[in-house]
Amino acid sequence: MRISVLSVLLAALFLSGCFSFTKTPPIAGQVEDSFKTRWVAKRMSELQATGAATDPREARRIAVEEFKKKYEYTAAAQKPDPVTNANP
C-alpha cells in the first residue's frame, strides 16, 4: 500500500512537469534585446527630429553609444550592435 501511494505521488510529480529537464528559454535576455531595439529606435527618431544627427547611421551610432552608457548593467548593452557590427 505504501509503495503504491509513493509511486503514484512520484508519477504525478514527474508528469506534472516538476522534474522537467528541458532548458527554459532566456526570457530576460529577449526582453532586454527588445527593450534595446525599441529604445534605440526612439532615440534615433529624437536625434533626427532635433537635428543633432541628420544621417540615420550617425543617429544609430549615437543612440547605441548612449544606450551602452545608460544601461551598461544589462546584457543587451554588452552585445555588439547587429547593424553596425560594433563591439561594446
pLDDT in tens, 32-63: 999 999 999 999 999 999 998 888 999 999 99
Question: Beta-carbon neighbour count of residue 86 at 10 Å?
Answer: 13
Residue 68 belongs to domain spanning:
36-88
Residues found in the chain: 88
Considering the domain boundaries, does residue 16 fall inside one? Answer: no
Q: Is residue 15 part of a domain?
A: no
Number of structural domains, the chain?
1
In a domain, 28, yes or no: no
Residue 31, in any domain of the structure: no
Percent pLDDT > 90 in the chain is 40
Q: Is pLDDT above 60 for 7?
A: yes
In a domain, 11, yes or no: no
Torsion on CA atoms 69, 74, 76, 79, rounded to nearest 10: 70
Residue 23 lies in a domain: no
58 class by beta-carbon count within 10 Å (0-12 exposed, 13-18 middle, 19+ buried): middle
- Whether 84 is in a domain gets the answer yes
The overall pTM is greater than 0.85: no
DSSP tag of 18:
T
Q: What is the pLDDT of residue 9?
A: 65
